[in-house]
């Protein structure tokens, strides 16, 4: 539909509308990230914002939207005189699709023309089109890493750079960045989230009347878009006028020192990192004051700005569950007020004692696990919440856990191997027990050794890619897709010229002697856009009396080897043997560490568990690593060990994913002690996993080991890695890691 849905016709979503309006008033706030489930009008509201933005003046004929009052001195279409001819046009809303290429985002340099004709033909990209407007990224969490890097650079510097084979193009790219995402599909990189000034969580209305009104307006809009928009012309005009007025008033708004001090205290109490949060809250508070027509920032402005700008900056671990913690924010605001009042009282009454340490207050706030601003358990391994499977923690004294799970007298020190489905005390493991994971550590790199085709950029396995180490060259299929390989291009041109010289005379290579080795150096200079001695134009080179022209069919593109992302499928043994001797705590810690490693390497993940008589796909392949952490925390143990069922489920999951995405290669991580006590022999399932790269993490512990995991790895043609050797962190020495492993075992 050509007529956009009116901004003023949106029902509810007050925080989202306010955040968008504030960034329209002050683009320096830094943009908006909208998080919400599907069908919550995220895209509708963002697209409606463009109609409210004031029109802009641009230099006539400039493709980069230069301001005639202050043109960009480095504009590729410049230089432009100040105050020259200008055109007025609406501010643009430019959409960046998830599948866009790098050339489409930053612009395209026609390399064929640059090599053959010596012409630097540059076509601006989406960043240039969004200059002084809005850049909208739908499903921003699915944006490829290399495009995320481009956005981060442009947002930080306000300029876009194109660097290609000795040709450099720079232009201004200042835009309002707005992104929408569905949290079910995974979280974006923390660096990208931090670049957004404000983050808003939206959800569908829970009131029946509001839901009915949403449907009523949507149906009316679809039936008659122009007529529906006409009903809201006055409201739209009022919004646009208010934005223009607030923009004009923005420089006159004053931020008092008291409110600036309040902002600093709130950010400190909330536990954010860096200074970007303080700056964004200050800018947002100023924009709020201008939006409400005030000439100074108030405490209410600071509170509202903090509510929009702080919650997404508090995550210290990328795998922490995201979302707004209103209670913690209220505590931080109250703490800032209390500290300011205490300092004010102390300054007015020098003889009075300062307020006691907030961590030991009489209200009990310092005695619980949530006493600090972060509310974190300092040990990181507290008892599990619910489920009845956890026992109270006890100091490590060389013996087993005390209490109900203690070994009976005379059996606690026995070294006799216990049955697989019994715990360390020789008692059957209670089915459904839940163990907590310890702090994650840095793991050794698990990779697929064979090279892939680079279908998905990432950081795990070697693959042919558009970036990385140059290992060769090839003739392009159609248009040149990557960087040209100049030596190979010149060799192809020389070979073609030699063959053409031989063909008319019928003689052998002597007729090609006019193309000498000295000509290669001149060709390199000429093909790169320079003017070698005796060359009559770019792409031409003199070698004695002969001339060689680089033609499009001579072009060769570079072949790069980089890294790709994979599907990492975890198949975890959750049987009773894994719960014995607190082994499941070590297993969960290892899987949690591997999940973090997969997040850092941009992999998709999946998780299958097996216990009892069957296997469960607890997490279908997804990019949401946070969901994987939550499913791992809820993992229960007990029962027998059906390894074959787990492998069958893994084979079926991989087959389904290959049909969906044939270019993403799977890496199977099997976490087990290899002791199959239920179902058929797991090696009977091995043919179904032929060709799948597999790593078996051996969880067997104790002084007597049967080596069943190693036998299973041999049958699967997999690599084997003992659990105690998985850690690669420098925080603990191998000896300390081994001692901790043996203590827990």
pLDDT band per the 50, 70, 90 thresholds, residue 508: very low
- Does the pLDDT value for residue 666 go beyond 80? yes
546: number of Cβ within 10 Å: 18
Lowest mean pLDDT among 157-171, 340-354, 404-418, 656-670: 404-418
113 with 213, same domain?
Answer: yes
Q: Across 118-132, 313-327, 356-370, 381-395, which has the greatest mean pLDDT? A: 118-132
Nearest to 433 by CA among 474, 404, 469, 407: 404
Question: What integer is the mean pLDDT of 608-628?
Answer: 88
Give the pLDDT confidence of 47-104 residue by residue, as tens digits: 888 888 888 888 888 888 888 888 888 888 878 888 888 888 888 888 888 778 777 8
- Taking each helix axis from N to C end, the angle separating 299-309 and 326-348, rounded to the nearest 10 degrees, works out to 140
Q: Which two tokens stand for residue 610?
A: 């097996």
Radius of gyration of the chain (CA): 32
Give the pLDDT confidence of 257-302 residue by residue, as tens digits: 988 988 988 888 887 877 888 999 999 999 999 999 999 999 889 9
In a domain, 508, yes or no: yes
Domain that holds residue 14: 7-55+90-224
What sign results for the dihedral spanned by CA atoms 406, 411, 413, 416? negative
Is residue 335 within 8 Å of 358, Cβ to Cβ? yes
Lowest mean pLDDT among 315-329, 436-450, 622-636: 315-329
570 with 666, same domain?
Answer: yes
In a domain, 424, yes or no: no
- Does the pLDDT value for residue 626 go beyond 50? yes
Q: Determine the pLDDT at residue 318.
A: 60
Is residue 526 within 8 Å of 532, Cβ to Cβ? yes
Question: What integer is the mean pLDDT of 326-350?
Answer: 71
- Does the pLDDT value for residue 489 go beyond 50? yes
Q: Which two tokens stand for residue 700?
A: 């067997």
Using DSSP's 3-state secondary structure scheme, residue 604 falls into strand
Cβ contacts of 513 within 8 Å, gap of 6 or more: none
pLDDT band per the 50, 70, 90 thresholds, residue 407: very low
Give the active site residue among 276, 294, 303, 631: 276
Residue count of the chain, please give it: 745
Q: Which of 321, 348, 375 is the last residue of a domain?
A: 348
Nearest to 31 by CA among 119, 125, 156: 156
Higher pLDDT, 368 or 63: 63
pLDDT band per the 50, 70, 90 thresholds, residue 481: low
Contacts 24+ apart (CB under 8 A), 397-401: 398/743, 400/424, 400/425, 400/581, 401/582
How far apart CA 550 and CA 370 sit, in angstroms, is 70
212 with 338, same domain?
Answer: no
* 159-164 vs 167-172, strand pairing mode: antiparallel
Q: Which of 331, 348, 365 is the last residue of a domain?
A: 348
Share of the chain above pLDDT 90, in %: 19
Single pTM value for the model = 0.63
In a domain, 394, yes or no: no
In a domain, 71, yes or no: no
Is residue 444 within 8 Å of 397, Cβ to Cβ? no
C-alpha atoms less than 13 angstroms from C-alpha of 346 in its C-beta half-sphere: 10
pLDDT band per the 50, 70, 90 thresholds, residue 616: very high
Question: What integer is the mean pLDDT of 151-173?
Answer: 77
Burial 639-660 (b: 16+ CB within 10 A, else e): bbbbbbbbbbbbbebbeebeee
Q: Which residue, chain included where needed, has tokens 């989230």?
A: 193
pLDDT band per the 50, 70, 90 thresholds, residue 112: low
Q: Determine the pLDDT at residue 166.
A: 58
688 with 610, same domain?
Answer: yes
571 with 541, same domain?
Answer: no
Number of structural domains in the chain = 4
In a domain, 136, yes or no: yes
689: number of Cβ within 10 Å: 20
In a domain, 399, yes or no: no
Q: Determine the pLDDT at residue 650.
A: 95
- Does the pLDDT value for residue 542 go beyond 60? no
Higher pLDDT, 504 or 19: 19
338 with 313, same domain?
Answer: yes
Task: Write the CATH number for 14.
Answer: 3.40.50.300
444 with 496, same domain?
Answer: no
Q: Which of 295, 326, 348 is the last residue of a domain?
A: 348
Lowest mean pLDDT among 218-227, 356-365, 668-677, 716-725: 356-365
35 with 181, same domain?
Answer: yes
- Does the pLDDT value for residue 24 go beyond 70? yes
Average pLDDT, the chain: 75
Task: Write the CATH number for 721.
Answer: 3.40.50.410
In a domain, 456, yes or no: no
Q: Which residue, chain included where needed, has tokens 């001819």?
A: 85
495 with 439, same domain?
Answer: no
Using DSSP's 3-state secondary structure scheme, residue 634 falls into coil
625 with 705, same domain?
Answer: yes
Q: Determine the pLDDT at residue 437.
A: 79
In a domain, 20, yes or no: yes
How far apart CA 485 and CA 365 sit, in angstroms, is 65
pLDDT band per the 50, 70, 90 thresholds, residue 581: low
Is 276 designated active site?
yes
Q: Determine the pLDDT at residue 531.
A: 36
Q: Determine the pLDDT at residue 527.
A: 39
Is residue 543 within 8 Å of 526, Cβ to Cβ? no
Per DSSP, what are the bridge partners of residue 693?
A: 667
Q: Determine the pLDDT at residue 285.
A: 94
50 with 148, same domain?
Answer: yes
pLDDT band per the 50, 70, 90 thresholds, residue 414: very low
Cβ contacts of 176 within 8 Å, gap of 6 or more: 23, 24, 27, 31, 133, 134, 135
191 with 300, same domain?
Answer: no
Q: Determine the pLDDT at residue 21.
A: 92
């Amino acid at each position: 539909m050509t007529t956009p849905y009116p901004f003023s016709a949106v029902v509810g979503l007050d925080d989202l509308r306010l955040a968008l309006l504030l960034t329209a008033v002050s683009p320096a706030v830094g943009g908006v990230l909208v998080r919400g489930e599907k069908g919550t009008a995220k895209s509708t509201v963002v697209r409606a914002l463009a109609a409210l933005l004031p029109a802009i003046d641009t230099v006539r004929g400039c493709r980069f939207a230069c301001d005639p009052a202050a043109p960009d001195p480095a504009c590729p279409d410049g230089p432009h005189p100040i105050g020259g001819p200008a055109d007025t046009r609406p501010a643009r809303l430019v959409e960046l699709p998830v599948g866009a290429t790098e050339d489409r985002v930053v612009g395209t340099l026609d390399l064929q023309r640059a090599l053959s004709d010596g012409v630097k033909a540059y076509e601006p990209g989406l960043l240039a089109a969004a200059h002084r407007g809005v850049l909208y990224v739908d499903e921003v969490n699915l944006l490829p890493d290399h495009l995320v890097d481009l956005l981060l650079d442009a947002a930080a510097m306000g300029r876009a750079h194109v660097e290609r084979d000795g040709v450099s193009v720079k232009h201004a790219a200042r835009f309002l960045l707005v992104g929408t995402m569905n949290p079910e599909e995974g979280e974006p990189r923390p660096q990208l989230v931090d670049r957004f000034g404000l983050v808003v969580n939206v959800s569908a209305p829970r009131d029946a009347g509001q839901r009915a009104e949403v449907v009523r307006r949507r149906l009316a809009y679809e039936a008659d878009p122009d007529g529906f928009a006409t009903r809201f012309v006055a409201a739209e005009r009022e919004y646009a006028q208010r934005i223009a007025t607030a923009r004009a008033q923005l420089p006159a708004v004053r931020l008092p020192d008291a409110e600036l001090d309040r902002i600093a205290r709130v950010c400190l109490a909330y536990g954010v990192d860096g200074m970007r949060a303080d700056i964004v809250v200050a800018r947002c508070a100023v924009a709020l004051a201008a939006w409400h027509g005030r000439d100074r920032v108030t405490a209410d402005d600071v509170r509202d700005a903090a509510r929009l700008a702080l919650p997404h900056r508090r995550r210290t671990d990328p795998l922490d569950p995201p979302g707004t913690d209103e209670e913690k924010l209220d505590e931080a605001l109250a703490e800032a007020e209390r500290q300011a009042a205490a300092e004010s009282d102390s300054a007015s009454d020098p003889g009075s004692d300062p307020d006691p340490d907030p961590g030991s207050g009489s209200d009990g706030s310092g005695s619980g696990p949530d006493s600090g601003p972060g509310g974190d358990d300092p040990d990181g391994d507290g008892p599990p919440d619910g489920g009845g499977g956890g026992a109270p923690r006890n100091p490590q004294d060389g013996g087993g856990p005390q209490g109900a799970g203690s070994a009976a007298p005379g059996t606690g020190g026995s070294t006799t191997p216990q049955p697989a489905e019994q715990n360390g005390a020789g008692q059957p493991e209670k089915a459904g027990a839940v163990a907590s994971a310890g702090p994650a550590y840095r793991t050794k790199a698990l990779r697929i050794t064979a090279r892939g085709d680079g279908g998905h950029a990432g950081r795990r396995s070697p693959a042919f890619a558009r970036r990385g180490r140059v290992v060769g060259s090839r003739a392009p299929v159609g248009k040149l897709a990557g960087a040209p390989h100049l030596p190979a291009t010149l060799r192809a041109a020389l070979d073609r010229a030699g063959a053409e010289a031989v063909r008319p005379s019928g003689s052998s290579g002597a007729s090609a002697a006019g193309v000498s080795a000295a000509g290669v150096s001149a060709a390199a200079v000429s093909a790169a856009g320079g003017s070698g001695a005796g060359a009559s134009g770019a792409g031409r080179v003199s070698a004695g009396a002969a001339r060689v022209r680089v033609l499009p069919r001579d072009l060769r593109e570079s072949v790069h080897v980089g890294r790709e992302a994979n599907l990492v499928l975890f198949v975890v043994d959750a049987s009773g043997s894994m719960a014995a001797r607190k082994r499941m705590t070590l297993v969960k810690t290892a899987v949690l560490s591997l999940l973090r490693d997969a997040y850092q390497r941009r992999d998709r993940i999946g998780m299958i568990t097996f216990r009892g008589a069957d296997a469960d796909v607890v997490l279908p392949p997804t990019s949401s690593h946070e969901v994987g952490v939550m499913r791992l925390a809820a993992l229960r143990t007990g029962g027998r060990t059906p390894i074959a069922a787990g492998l069958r489920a893994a084979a079926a999951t991989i087959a389904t994913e290959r049909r969906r995405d044939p270019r993403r290669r799977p890496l199977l991580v099997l976490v087990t002690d290899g002791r199959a006590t239920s179902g058929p022999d797991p090696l009977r399932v091995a043919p179904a996993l032929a060709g799948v790269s597999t790593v078996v993490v051996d969880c067997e512990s104790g002084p007597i080991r049967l080596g069943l995991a190693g036998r299973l790895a041999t049958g699967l043609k997999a690599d084997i890695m003992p659990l105690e050797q998985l850690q690669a962190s420098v925080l603990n020495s191998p000896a300390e890691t081994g001692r901790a492993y043996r203590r827990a075992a």
